Chain A
Amino acid sequence: MDRLDLLREAARKVLDSGQVEGVLALRADHGGTVPHLFHPGDDLSDLALWPKFPLPRTVDMLLSSHPEARLGIVVRGCDERGLIEMAKRHQVDLARLTLIGLACTAEEVAYCPCTRPYPNEIAVGEAVEGVEHVLAAEQARLSLAERMAFWRRQFAKCFKCYGCRNVCPQCFCEQCTLEDDLWVERGVLAPPFPSFHLIRALHTVGKCIGCHECELSCPADIPLTILYTLLRQDAQEMFGYEPGASLEDKPPLVVAGVT
């Protein structure tokens, strides 16, 4: 059986267990994929794997609108880490979820460089090694002037579609700083350097679990995850914090205590 069949089988098992109202997964749609809630008894032949899409916020929405429901959800490593960070901030109740862990393939990992491309518990697939973010590592070798020139050029392409924020499983604030006129002027394109992008980058600290969805969805092809990856490495070094690693670790920037 191939990986997709195994995933369908795993989803079927959870659906048949009687423990859940449905399983959130991806469904093939017009050559792409969309989040879909499969119900017990549903035909699973259009349950799909790729292209990946983050499901944590969709499941959050479903759990909120159906306060009694228990759901299954297919999680890749990044989805699981995302759920853990969300749970810490009281966005999802993990007790109401049954996770179906999916390990990414080496091919998939090449598409979105990830240091830990598998969840804690793997139901389908086999763990492959993570890879470093090559572009982020290369940045370190640039001079300050080269970095400024590079990011000015990149940020100048932004037309503030807010896609990076909207797709991010870690962006769930009710009021977004990126929409606050005081910090990011409305109606100004591109956002004046270095407002929008540095604010967003800072807000990923202690949260960004490296799913790369922001960059994948950016219509202007801005390599956003370079900055987020560098900051994630810094937070690891400075505070020993790794987003999504455990439910117990407290996000460093919002709790008291200095190291």
Chain B
Amino acid sequence: MSEDFEPRIIGFLCNWCSYAGADAAGTSRLPYPPNIRIVRVMCSGRVSPELVLRTFREGADGVLVLGCHIGDCHYTDGNHRTAKRIPILRKLLSYVGIEPERLRLEWVSSSEAQRFAQVVSEFTETVRRLGPLELKGGA
């Protein structure tokens, strides 16, 4: 791994809580690593395993999924699905040799700007330590 590896991180943030949290972090001028590219989704339940896998295939080194806390989902229980799918997907990633730490799910509310910045910083460091994800090539 080269010293100056900058991980590419895609964050899927639900519109109602986490995206607002990220927004609040921005307006409060809280610093967080620029490695994350944010994709706004209507609900964390929208983030299908297929979408995560495709994101890795497209070159992401880490995928961060952020949604409303359990009980706060705008669609009542969209995040219940997320809460079960992501851990299963992490298991499966590990079975085929992909570090499960490259995929992380957290709940971040609209008022948790500080927490948003902290999660992104931590996750970026985790992925930086893991190095680039090489999915292409090789038989």
Contact = CB atoms under 8 A, between A and B. Distances in A.
Q: Is this pair of chains taken from one and the same complex? A: yes
Interface of A: 139, 144-153, 156, 177, 182-183, 192-195, 197-199, 201-202, 205, 226-227, 230-231, 234-235, 238-239, 252-254, 256-258
Contacts, number: 90
Contacts of B29: none
Given A234-B91, A258-B84, A192 B54 contact: no
B88 A183 contact: no
A252 B81 CA distance: 8
A148 B49 contact: no
Given A230-B91, A231-B92, A199 B53 contact: yes
A205 B54 CA distance: 19
A205 B76 CA distance: 23
Given A199-B49, A201-B92, A252-B84, A194 B139 contact: no
Contacts of B92: 198, 201-202, 227, 231
Contacts of B85: 202, 253
Interface of B: 49-50, 53-54, 56-57, 70, 76-77, 80-81, 83-85, 87-89, 91-99, 135, 138-139
15 contacts: A148-B97, A151-B97, A183-B53, A183-B54, A194-B96, A198-B53, A198-B96, A226-B95, A227-B96, A230-B91, A231-B95, A253-B85, A253-B88, A257-B77, A257-B80
Contact of B95 (A227, A252, A254): A227
Contacts of B96: 147-148, 151, 194, 197-198, 227
Contact of A202 (B49, B56, B81): B49
A253 B80 CA distance: 9
A152 B135 CA distance: 10
B94 A152 contact: no
Residue among A144, A150, A182 facing the most chain B CB atoms (10 A cut-off): A144
B54 to A, nearest CB: 6
Main secondary structure of the interface of B (DSSP, over half): helix
Contacts of B138: 152, 193
A230 B96 CA distance: 11
Contacts of A199: 49-50, 53
Given A144-B97, A147-B94, A257-B80, 4 more contacts: A148-B96, A183-B50, A194-B53, A226-B95
Contact of A195 (B57, B70, B88, B94): B57
Contacts of B70: 258
A195 B94 CA distance: 15
Nearest to B97: A148
Residue among B49, B77, B85, B94 facing the most chain A CB atoms (10 A cut-off): B49
Given A144-B94, A147-B95, A198-B92, A253 B54 contact: no
Contact of A192 (B50, B57, B76, B89): B57
Contacts of A252: 84
A256 B77 contact: yes
Contacts of B53: 183, 194-195, 198-199
